[in-house]
Structure 1
């Protein structure tokens, strides 16, 4: 193997994963021009075009896709084994990359990190806030956070939070404008604040259940957000009904800034789980983080 080939492969994998020279360069800590030069050199040595470049995007060619699928997992295994050598250290060290949605990151990850990091100054944690159902293997995250029902069966899942409950909330003045809905179907007569799904781009249908009966209702209203916090702010300002995690609005409910509607249609469901591939060899830093997050309620 020629000198520098491994680094060139790592550069190629970064560009393929990011679909962008700019983002991949930032991830690798090099300039976009230097990264482009590296990829051209690799292509010249192989005698193959690995990436198709346009003004808007970067995508692997057939040869590039084959190289990515074969070399990517092998290099990831090598990196994992090298990281595992930190077990020989007395103090856990290294970087752990996580992906989580906005609510899980603020309600669970951040409180745990504020307790963990002062005790382990050699551990670095990168948290990518993304409400999509991220493929942690393809995007090379150490672990992700999802609701229990969303975790794939081939993943190791560790419960990190209690059961959750979504509730319909409104500012008192907003709730008083019309008779309160008695069933979820009556929400169609109320102004509601919609949530844009990051994965499909569609609007989230509010989910309800009672006595074994499940319903999904598509609502309408003047506002659409892809942020739960913005939905909360809009509900507090009286712009419509919001559908939010109960723990996120607990203080607002206690203070009377918001009220709950359709409470008997909002049962609890399994909370957040940390998940990672079953074949993953946990590093000491990762193991420490898992224990810090593990739910013990």
Structure 2
């Protein structure tokens, strides 16, 4: 049976990448609003109600409107906006986040696709809080860098028009980033982390880093203990992998562009036990696992397809 999929907002950065990933699929029929009716709400409503899965690549208010236009109980939704990420009526679409999460996604009618930054933080922090190695009220700090594609069309155009744009541009310096609610909720933190995002002068790719002062934790908690807990959390062979523990000064694999074009994510733990310090690192594509790749993975789960279809690891 061919499944009908409608990408509402297919002309945006995430929508275009999803469409490209699905273009060769023979088990999917991609629905599109005819050009002449592109601005008609009624045309969108028709396709939203005709689809087996609707993937929303829209601003928050527009995504809420699209959901309100669905009048049946058969269309299943993957929403890539921020609108529903901490809504308890929606399942959070990070399939590897916890045991049973992929099954919960597969059984859901409403899936909130994760934001790009939170996934690396959730993947490294949640296993440690769940294991009791780091308390939920720990004052976490997160620093991260993303390619400029994460800022949408206007930022892409601004960077591509200026070859001398800053190679490193911190932002969010009022510390109220829109990803904080999901970062806190799904990492199982009791308090918001101090989050310091930045944009690099490259198109896509991401690194998140969570430093830890081990001296504030139990004396038996070493970097290797943290690494083993994170490695034990994730099943081998999935999209999220954990690098071997190594005490090294630097690694070329920490280039944020390492997983561009894929749905892969690699986690690292680095530490200096004499100094009682460690850092948790995640490397992935902000447009892959951080956006379009995750949306396709969630769509596959909803349709009962091979989870890896259309996705490179």
Output the TM-score relative to the length of structure 1.
Answer: 0.29
Tell me which of the two structures has the higher relative contact order, counting C-alpha pairs closer than 8 angstroms and 6 or more residues apart.
1
Q: Which has the higher helix share?
A: 1
